[in-house]
Amino acid sequence: MPPKADVWKGTLALMILRTLDMLGPLHGYGVARRIEQTSDQLLAINHGTLYPQLMKLEEDGYITGAWGVSENGQRAKFYRLTRAGRRQLRKATQDWEQAVAILAKFRAPEGTR
Amino acid sequence: MTQWIRRLINLFRRERMERELEAELESHLGLETDRNLRAGMPPAEARRVAHARLGGVEQVKERWREARPLHGLAASWLDVKLGVRMLVKSPVLSLVGGLGMAVAIAFATGVFTFMTFYYSDVPVEDGDRIVALDYLALSDDRSTLFDFQLWKEELELLEDLAAYRTVSRDLESPIMGSGPAKVAEMTASGFGTLRVPPLLGRPLLNSDEAEGAQPVVVLGHREWQTRFFADPDVIGREVRLDGITHIVVGVMPEGFRLPVNHGFWTALTTAPRLVEPVRGPQVHVFGRLAFGVEAEAAEAEAASIGEWILSEYPHLYERRQVAVRPYIHTALGLEQVPAWVIWLSQLFAGLILVAVAVNVAVLFFARTALRRAEIAVRTALGASRRRIVTQLFVEALALSAAAAAFGLLIAQVAFRQVTFLADLRDVIPYWLLEGLPPETLLYAGGLAAVAAVVVGVLPALQATGRNLEGTMREMGNGSGLRMGRTWSLLICVQVAVAVAVLPAVVGIAWNYVLPPVTMFPASEVLAFELRPRSALRADGSGRPDQDAAYGALQEELLRRVEALPEVDGVTFSSRSFSWVYFEFEDGTVSGERNFSNPVGVEYFATLGVPLLAGRAFDRDDAVEGTVAAVVNRAFSEEYFPGGGALGRRFREVTPTGGGLGESGPWFEVVGVFEDMLRSARDGRTRPQSYHPVPLGTEVRRLAAHMRGLGPASVIARANEIAAEIAPAGFELWAQPMSTRYAGDPREFRFLLLGASLATLSVLLLSAAGISAMMSFAVSQRRREVGIRTALGATRRQVVASIFGRSGRQLGVGLVLGAAGAALVDRLSGESLLQGQVGPLLLFVAAIMLLAGLLATIGPTLRALRIQPMEALREE
């Protein structure tokens, strides 16, 4: 099994927003698990960095959290995307796609640019 | 925007958010542990792995705190609490450091206040354009009505030129009775210049200035309120100023007390007979710069008029140079002080604070170093270096903020005391008297921040260096020596600076506060005179001429007091005492100027000054063309060492502009008297000569010898006489000479307090520095002391080794400081310490030594308590 890659700086927020957009309300642990699954276990998410990021997104108004009961019957905080979060997701996705496109041009073979 | 509001709100929800995070992490750990259990791990292992993946609850919380927007601010609240707690925990350090910084901040704030004065504008519309026009204070030459009239006619760049002078009048109003009043005699144009309309009635008008016009007065708001009970019908009422009836024509609004701090305005008479070059009433002139005109341009214009007037009156206007300055500079007598002097003193004051802060930083560094275990634990728990430095900064800020608050209080009290003591309330413009200006709050805050950076951040950066573990290991081992050296050096420098500077401070304070010693029975002599209430010369507006009539008045008072049964002798001294060089028969001239005093014939007998040689004056001496003079002991010893003063001749040389001027007639020394006053500190006094003059127009101050009944009854009788003979506008001033020379006890207390505070803070800082240094050294040398004790070193040897170290630092500091003090003394031309370097140095050195050694006792006791086995086991 290849070694897991760290999450690239600045992309964790995008992954969280995307995950919540796809799956609806989810607790922090669920988000972490989902990101790992989506990356086919290629990404090693440091759970310790996830929560500060979640709280920051909540503070910025992109997601909102509410306490509920998790699958093991414990109290857990469930996050969902807000309208501002959706807008932010669209914007971040566009930025990301643009960045990828630019990078793609750099790795295209000579003469095809 | 909403984001920022939410962030701000969250600043105050921090604890709740932290609790939520904790709950969330707990839930996360539960879910992860369940998953691990399902994967077949044993429960303990499942929980441990979950914790490991999360990276520790405390660490996550710390990361969250640091990632928060405005986290610095939020972190600070906790730090403030922590900081205050730390300050309370080490009260000595806090007190010593705080006091030192407070004194320095008070000083810097005082200098800053002065700077705000320097740049303050007159509080009226476009106040920055109000300027004063005057001759540079090369001598006592002030502008006169003549100059004012000339400038008013000729100057185009200055608008609404106005003149005023301050006079003191007896005010009698039908409502309030009588009392003294400070009156601005001002040209009517003054109200136009200042552009403040009256609250009631009208301002002064040009027609009020005319000679023979009905005298009128405009009242200040406070005066209207207090002396006229805010009478709405005050306009048209009559009041008497020095017996002359004035009609109240207006009341100015609240907060208007221009030109300086006035509450009554009467018209300044500009009658042609008063307008002549140089003579005539002296006035202050002010005006408004025309729109867009710089002060320099107006000054150039005034200078060109100056050239013209110089060609007209060359001998009168020879040394007069006109200047246009901001109003406030002239009001405060700062015409000649350039801005850079103000800024330089500000810089100097700031440097003093930095020096003190560095000192406190040394103390904090010692503590920070001693707290390295705490810092290491916090770092291990995930606190970043920034976080720790922030905490230490805030801790220092808590201290420096408290110091700033105390410093502001000191500055405020000092400001009030100084303005009160120095009788400045009549001289300083009223808008500066409110207390410290609000800018000083900001300034003191800034100083506190700077001090906190020096005190908190520098030691913190050093103690939390990148390689914290390495630093810690270094500190634990003997290699802390490097740091020890830096410290030793700092302590030495500190002791040296204290020793170099303190004697000068003590010397100045000592010199200033100690009243002179009187060498005659001063308590038996009453000094008295009739004083006009106005400080300025009368100009003939219904008041007695001071010269002839005033002399006659004084003479009569003297005669009447002489006749009192409680008095057995009277005398006087003359107004025309002079500040002269003495020239002797062999052609030598005294190196410095001293006093020559014309006095009454019975002067020495009345005052009871002991005769040392020769004789006192007799009646025949006090006639025209006399040659008899007597001198004091200092004169005799200075100019005729060996005692041959009697019969020798000298004359007085009055210096003029460029050098020695004209010589007076020759005098012959007929008697030598004891010095009347001597400096309390060095017993010295200036050489003085006395020659007799007849009673006449020159009378300055009168004196009476009392028959031991105490001054009260004589003063009461003298007051009765004064009331009988003196016209309005004069009052009796009387004081036993002992009181006069005793100095002002309030001034004494104030100066003593100031000097003690400064000295105490320096001493405490030094002592605390040495103590902290020694504590640190002892904690560093635990192992060494342990081994030495184990090898049989006695308690005495341990004590000697600790004291030896502090002794060496003190010794080097004292020697360097003594050299510095001698240098300071030499540079100041030996005037600062008045030749008392030795005793003062000894005094200061003894105190420093004592403080230093006392400060070493604590650490020494700690060293003695070190158990060899424990110290060795720790390693």
- Whether B31 and A75 lie within 8 Å, measured CB to CB: no
- Nearest neighbour of B6 by CB, restricted to A52, A61, A76: A61
pLDDT reported for residue A81: 92
Nearest CA in chain B to A60: B3
- Whether B24 and A76 lie within 8 Å, measured CB to CB: yes
Rounded distance between C-alpha atoms, residue B441 and residue B405, angstroms: 9
Nearest CA in chain A to B1: A60
Number of Cβ atoms within 10 Å of the Cβ of B486: 12
Q: What is the pLDDT of residues B264-276, one digit of tens each?
A: 999 888 776 666 7
Rounded distance between C-alpha atoms, residue B668 and residue B350, angstroms: 57
Rounded distance between C-alpha atoms, residue B517 and residue A32, angstroms: 90
Q: Taken in order B840, B841, B844, B849, is the CA torsion positive or negative?
A: negative
- Whether A61 and B68 lie within 8 Å, measured CB to CB: no
pLDDT reported for residue B543: 37
Looking at the complex, report in whole angstroms how far the Cα of residue B23 sits from the nearest Cα belonging to chain A. 8
Q: What is the mean pLDDT of chain B?
A: 78
pLDDT tops 60 at residue B3: yes
- Nearest neighbour of B25 by CB, restricted to A49, A51, A72: A51
User: What is the arithmetic mean of pLDDT over B447-471?
Assistant: 73
Q: What is the pLDDT of residues B330-342, one digit of tens each?
A: 777 777 777 887 7
Rounded distance between C-alpha atoms, residue B28 and residue B52, angstroms: 12
Rounded distance between C-alpha atoms, residue B560 and residue B114, angstroms: 49
Nearest CA in chain A to B7: A59
Closest CA to B134 of B309, B307, B341, B306: B306
pLDDT tops 60 at residue B84: yes
pLDDT reported for residue A73: 83
Beta bridge partners of B159: B288
Report chain B residues whose CB lies below 8 A from the CB of A26.
Answer: none
Report chain A residues whose CB lies below 8 A from the CB of B22.
Answer: none
Interface with chain A: mutation pick from B64, B65, B66, highest number of A CBs within 10 Å: B64
Rounded distance between C-alpha atoms, residue B692 and residue B629, angstroms: 7
Contact (Cβ atoms closer than 8 angstroms) between residue B251 and residue B226: no
Report chain A residues whose CB lies below 8 A from the CB of B67.
Answer: 52-53, 56
Nearest CA in chain B to A29: B28
- Whether B55 and A76 lie within 8 Å, measured CB to CB: no
Show which of residues 44-103 on chain B sit within 8 Å of chain A, judged by CB atoms: 53-56, 59-60, 63-64, 67-69
Could you tell me what percent of chain B has a pLDDT over 90? 6
ipTM of the complex: 0.88
The DSSP string of B819-852 is: HHHHHHHHHTTT-SSTT-HHHHHHHHHHHHHHHH
Please give the single-letter amino acid code of residue B773.
M
- Whether A70 and B31 lie within 8 Å, measured CB to CB: yes
pLDDT reported for residue A86: 93
Rounded distance between C-alpha atoms, residue B576 and residue B647, angstroms: 25
**B633 token code pair:** 């002991």
- Whether B30 and A61 lie within 8 Å, measured CB to CB: no
Rounded distance between C-alpha atoms, residue B416 and residue B414, angstroms: 5
Rounded distance between C-alpha atoms, residue B355 and residue A52, angstroms: 43
pLDDT tops 80 at residue B359: no
Strand, helix or coil at B682?
coil
Kindly tell me the burial class for residue B831, based on how many C-beta atoms sit within 10 Å of its own C-beta (0-12, 13-18, 19 or more).
exposed
Task: Report which of residues B150 and A2 the model is more confident about.
Answer: B150
Q: Is some CB atom of chain A closer than 8 A to the CB atom of B37?
A: no
pLDDT reported for residue B535: 41
CA angle B621, B623, B625 (to 5 degrees): 95
Among B26-30, B57-61, B532-536, B591-595, the least confident range: B532-536
Looking at the complex, report in whole angstroms how far the Cα of residue A107 sits from the nearest Cα belonging to chain B. 35
Rounded distance between C-alpha atoms, residue B147 and residue B132, angstroms: 13
Closest CA to B266 of B507, B668, B534: B534
- Whether A51 and B64 lie within 8 Å, measured CB to CB: yes
Per-residue pLDDT band at B480 (split at 50, 70, 90): very low
pLDDT reported for residue B416: 81
Per-residue pLDDT band at B473 (split at 50, 70, 90): very low
pLDDT tops 70 at residue B49: yes
> How would you classify the pairing of strands B663-673 and B611-614?
antiparallel
Give the DSSP H or E segment for B32. helix B14-38
Q: What is the pLDDT of residues B288-305, one digit of tens each?
A: 888 888 888 888 888 888
Rounded distance between C-alpha atoms, residue A76 and residue A66, angstroms: 8
Q: What is the pLDDT of residues B222-251, one digit of tens each?
A: 888 887 778 888 898 888 887 788 899 999
Q: What is the pLDDT of residues B822-875, one digit of tens each?
A: 887 777 655 555 556 677 778 777 877 887 777 778 778 877 777 777 766 655
Q: What is the pLDDT of residues B732-787, one digit of tens each?
A: 888 888 877 776 666 666 667 777 777 777 777 777 777 776 776 777 677 777 88
pLDDT reported for residue B177: 63
Rounded distance between C-alpha atoms, residue B413 and residue B409, angstroms: 6
Could you tell me what percent of chain A has a pLDDT over 70? 86
Q: What residues contact B173, with CB distance under 8 A and at least 6 apart?
A: B227, B228, B237, B239, B240
Rounded distance between C-alpha atoms, residue B30 and residue B14, angstroms: 24
- Nearest neighbour of B55 by CB, restricted to A46, A53, A76: A46
Q: Is some CB atom of chain A closer than 8 A to the CB atom of B240?
A: no
pLDDT reported for residue B474: 47
Kindly tell me the burial class for residue B869, based on how many C-beta atoms sit within 10 Å of its own C-beta (0-12, 13-18, 19 or more).
exposed
In three-state form (DSSP H/G/I as H, E/B as E, the rest C), the secondary structure along B552-583 is HHHHHHHHHHHCCCCEEEEEEEECCCEEEEEE
pLDDT tops 60 at residue B540: no
pLDDT reported for residue B652: 84
Q: What is the pLDDT of residues B691-729, one digit of tens each?
A: 888 776 566 678 888 876 677 888 888 888 888 887 766
Strand, helix or coil at B266?
strand
Strand, helix or coil at B342?
helix
Interface with chain A: mutation pick from B28, B32, B58, B59, highest number of A CBs within 10 Å: B28
pLDDT tops 60 at residue B482: no
Could you tell me what percent of chain B has a pLDDT over 70? 80
Among B29-33, B387-391, B760-764, the least confident range: B760-764
Per-residue pLDDT band at B37 (split at 50, 70, 90): very high
- Which strands, in side-by-side order, build the sheet including A63-69? A26-27, A75-81, A63-69
CA angle B801, B805, B809 (to 5 degrees): 165
Q: Is some CB atom of chain A closer than 8 A to the CB atom of B25?
A: yes
Task: Report which of residues A64 and B619 the model is more confident about.
Answer: A64
Task: Report which of residues B181 and B680 the model is more confident about.
Answer: B181
Q: Is some CB atom of chain A closer than 8 A to the CB atom of B134?
A: no
B356-365, B584-593, B641-650 — which one is most confidently predicted on average?
Answer: B641-650
pLDDT reported for residue B53: 83
